[in-house]
Chains A and B, each alone.
Chain A
Amino acid sequence: MKQIAHDQPLLVAEGLSKWYGRQIGCRDVSLALYEGEVLAVAGESGSGKTTLLQLLSGQLEPTAGRVLYRMRDGVTRELAALGQAERRFLFRTDWGYVHQDPVLGLRMAVSAGANVGERLMAVGWRHYGRIRGTASSWLDRVEIDRSRIDDAPITYSGGMRQRLQIARNLITQPRLVFMDEPTGGLDVSVQARLLDLVRGLVAELGLAVIVVTHDLAVARLLSHRIMVMKGGEAIETGLTDQVLDDPHEPYTQLLVSSILPP
Chain B
Amino acid sequence: MSGPTYNFAYLDEQTKRMIRRAILKAIAVPGYQVPFASREMPMPYGWGTGGVQVTAAILGPDDVLKVIDQGSDDTTNAVSIRKFFAKTAGVRTTTCTTEATVIQTRHRIPEAPLGEGQVLVYQVPIPEPLRFLEPRETETRRMHALAEYGLIHVKLYEDIARHGHIATTYAYPVQVDGRYVMDPSPTPKFDNPKMNDCAALQLFGAGREKRIYAIPPHTTVVSLDFDDHPFERYRFDAPCALCGATDSYLDEVITDDEGGRMFACSDTDYCEKRRATNRDDAVPGNGPGAPAMDAASR
Contacts and interface: CB of A to CB of B under 8 A. Distances in A.
Direct A–B contact in complex, judged by CB atoms less than 8 Å apart? yes
A194 to B, nearest CB: 25
Contacts of A122: 148, 150-151
Nearest to A131: B157
B29 to A, nearest CB: 18
Contacts of B229: 128
Given A111-B158, A114-B158, A131-B157, A123 B146 contact: no
B168 to A, nearest CB: 14
Interface string B111-153: 0000000000000000000000100000000100010101101
A118 B150 contact: yes
Interface string A114-145: 10011101110011110110000000000000
Contact of A126 (B153, B158, B160, B161): B153
A48 B284 CA distance: 79
Interface in B132-186: 133, 142, 146, 148, 150-151, 153-154, 157-158, 160-162
B6 interface: no
A88 interface: yes
Interface footprint category on A: 20 to 34
B133 A128 contact: no
A150 B162 contact: yes
B229 to A, nearest CB: 5
Contacts of A127: 226-228
B161 A111 contact: yes
Contacts of A107: 133, 154
Nearest to A83: B146
Nearest to B149: A122
A5 interface: no
Given A127-B228, A128-B160, A121 B150 contact: yes
A53 to B, nearest CB: 21
Contacts of B142: 84
Contacts of B161: 111, 113-114, 132, 149-150
Interface string A77-94: 000000011001000100
Contact of B157 (A88, A92, A113): A113
Contacts of A88: 146, 148
A150 B228 CA distance: 19
Contacts of A64: none
A261 B158 CA distance: 47
A121 B148 contact: no
Of B142, B148, B154, B227, chain A has the most CB atoms within 10 Å of the CB of B154
A149 B161 CA distance: 9
Given A110-B133, A111-B161, A126-B225, 4 more contacts: A110-B158, A114-B157, A132-B157, A150-B162
Interface of B: 133, 142, 146, 148, 150-151, 153-154, 157-158, 160-162, 225-229
14 contacts: A88-B146, A110-B154, A111-B158, A113-B157, A114-B154, A114-B158, A118-B151, A118-B154, A122-B148, A128-B157, A128-B226, A128-B228, A129-B228, A149-B161
